[in-house]
Amino acid sequence: MNKKTVRFVPVTKEELSDFKIKLQQTFTDALVEQFGVSHSEPIPSDEDITTSFNAKGAVVSHIVYEQKRVGGVVLNINTDSQYNSLDLFFIYPENHNKGLGLATWKAIEAAYPDTKVWTTVTPYFEKRNINFYVNKCGFHIVEFFNKHDLDGDSVVQDIDDSGINEEDFFRFEKIMK
């Protein structure tokens, strides 16, 4: 496979609404693919996305390959601690299986070389994401959030009317050398 070069283009305020819609559609498509059911609420929720967009250190970008937008990413960069997070990351379904996810992750690492630790979370049912983060990007699963999580500090949501449990998440870390 030839090397894919992606670049990041900041999302403007005027583009945030469309970016959010595409993000939610990509996540919803994955849910439908996995479970064969539609979901009544957008995933992630509007509130979760707004929180990510407005967080201190948020970097919201389109992922561009060959002059075409192929996805998006929301990072949270802490320039003091260099403990950074990958809050939201999506490649449009029509661009899956083309190596763009890994090319994007490598470009993120290259863009933030001072990072000490990267973190991210993904739902328990996203086998594709779990495989990607662990086997391709070098993350390790360090925590499992679920309804039995007693510290109350999890990313827990709840079970919706379709019976899909939205409260079970894996948290990943990648310690950089």
What does the pLDDT read at residue 38?
66
Distance (Å) of CA 8 to CA 30, 59, 70, 144, 155? 23, 10, 10, 31, 27
What does the pLDDT read at residue 145?
87
In the structure encoding, which two tokens stand for residue 102, read together?
């890994």
- Which domains are delineated in the chain? 6-115+132-141 (3.40.630.30)
Query: What is the phi/psi pair of residue 74, to 5°?
Result: -125, 115
Render pLDDT for 27-85 as a digit per residue (tens, 0 to 9).
Answer: 887 777 776 766 667 788 889 899 999 999 999 999 999 999 999 999 999 999 999 99
pTM of the model: 0.85
Per-residue pLDDT band for 162 (boundaries 50, 70, 90) equals very low
